[in-house]
Structure 1
Amino acid sequence: MDKSDVLQIFNRQFKEFVENISESFPKNTTISKMKTALNLLIVVKPNLVYKGVKKFVIDMYRTEIDSGDITFFIDKDYKQDLSKASGSESFLKIVNEYATVDSDSNSILEKIEALKGPVREMNHAEQQNVMKYIQNLMKLSDLYETR
C-alpha cells in the first residue's frame, strides 16, 4: 500500500465521519454546509484535508486522542491553541474557496464551535463513535507519514 492508497482511505474515513455527524443532526445547516465544502475539497485537493486534520487536530492533541476522552474535545476552548497555530485562517480560506455554499462562519474556531454543540448533545455511544473516528484518522495519518 503506497501513500496515495493511504490518503484515499483517510479521506474516505473522514467523509464517513462527517456524514455520521451530519446524519445525527440533519436539520443543522452549518454542519450540512461544512460537509458539502469538505466533500468538494476532498475531490479537488485530496491532500489538503489530510494536512489540515494532521496539523490542527492530530499534531496538537495526540495525547488526548490516545486517551479516548471525548469530553476533553467537547469542553476545550480552542481559541488560544488556534491563535498559536500558524496557517489556520489560510487553511479555512482555501476550504471556503472550494465550497459551493456560503459559509456561516469565517474562522476555524467558529467551525469547531459549530461541531462541539451537536457532539455534546450525542449520547455516550455516539460520542465514543466520534472518538473512534478521530483515533482511526490518527492511525491513518501515522501510516501515511511512514510511506
Structure 2
Amino acid sequence: MTNIGISAETQIKNQLLKTFNEQFMEFSDAIISIFPDDADLRLAKNAFVFFRKTNPKIIIDVWYRYVVLKYKDVIEAGDVSFFLEKDYVEDVVNLSEWSSKSLEAINRLRAPLKNMNSENQITAMKYCQNLSSLAFHYWN
C-alpha cells in the first residue's frame, strides 16, 4: 500500500522508524520481564514511552549518534562483555549538566544486564544489533 504524495524513500524511513521504536519497546519489555521488580527499569521505560510520544525520532537519533557511530564494529561483533565492562565517563562528558545523570542512568540500566544469564545477554546483544542496523539504515 502506497501513500499518495509520499516518496518511496520517505515510506521506507517511516517503516524503519516504526520498526525501530517497536523493537526498542520490545527490548525494554524483555529486560523488564527478566527483572520485574526493578523500579529503575520501569521508570526508564516510562521515560522512553514519553520521549517516543513527544518526538518519535528522538530515540533512534540518540541511538544512532551515541551507540551506532561509536560502537558499530563492537555491536556487529556481538561483544557483550565490552558494554558490561566499559567505563562510560568519556562518552557522557560533553553532555555538560546531563553528564552525571546520564552516567548514573547507564550504570543503573547496565547492572541488570550484568546479572542476566549468558543466553539472555546474547538475546540483548541481538536486540542491540537489530536496533543498530535499523538506526544505521534510517540515517544513511
Consecutive unaligned residues of structure 1, counting only runs of 5 or more, are 93-105
RMSD over aligned CA atoms reads 1.8
Percent identity reads 32
The 1-side partners of 2:61 and 2:13 are apart by 13
Q: CA deviation at 1:81?
A: 2.2
Distance 1:33 1:2 in 2: 31
Corresponding position of 2:43: 33
Q: Distance in 1 between matches of 2:92 and 2:77?
A: 21
CA offset digits 1:46-73 (Å, max 9, x no partner): 0011111111111111111111010100
Q: Would you say the 8 A contact 2:21–2:52 is kept in 1?
A: yes
Q: 2:125 aligns with which of 111, 120, 131?
A: 131
Q: Secondary structure at the match of 2:60?
A: helix
Deviation for aligned residue 1:39: 1.2
Name the aligned partner's letter for residue 124 of structure 2. Answer: V
Given the superposition, is the C-alpha separation of residues 130 and 38 from structure 1 closer, same or farther in structure 2, using an over 3 Å criterion? same
Residue by residue over 1:103-126, the C-alpha shift from the partner in whole angstroms, topping out at 9 and shown as x without a partner, is xxx711111101111001000000
| Structure-2 change in CA distance of 1:121 and 1:87 (3 Å) | same
Aligned amino acid, residue 112 of structure 1: I
State how 1:39-58 maps to structure 2 within 5 Å: 39-58=49-68
- Please give the TM-score of this superposition, normalised by the length of structure 1: 0.82
Count of aligned positions: 130
1:59–1:86 CA distance, 2 compared to 1 (3 A) = farther
> Stretches of 4+ moved more than 4 A in 1?
85-88
Q: What amino acid maps onto 2:15 in structure 1?
A: D
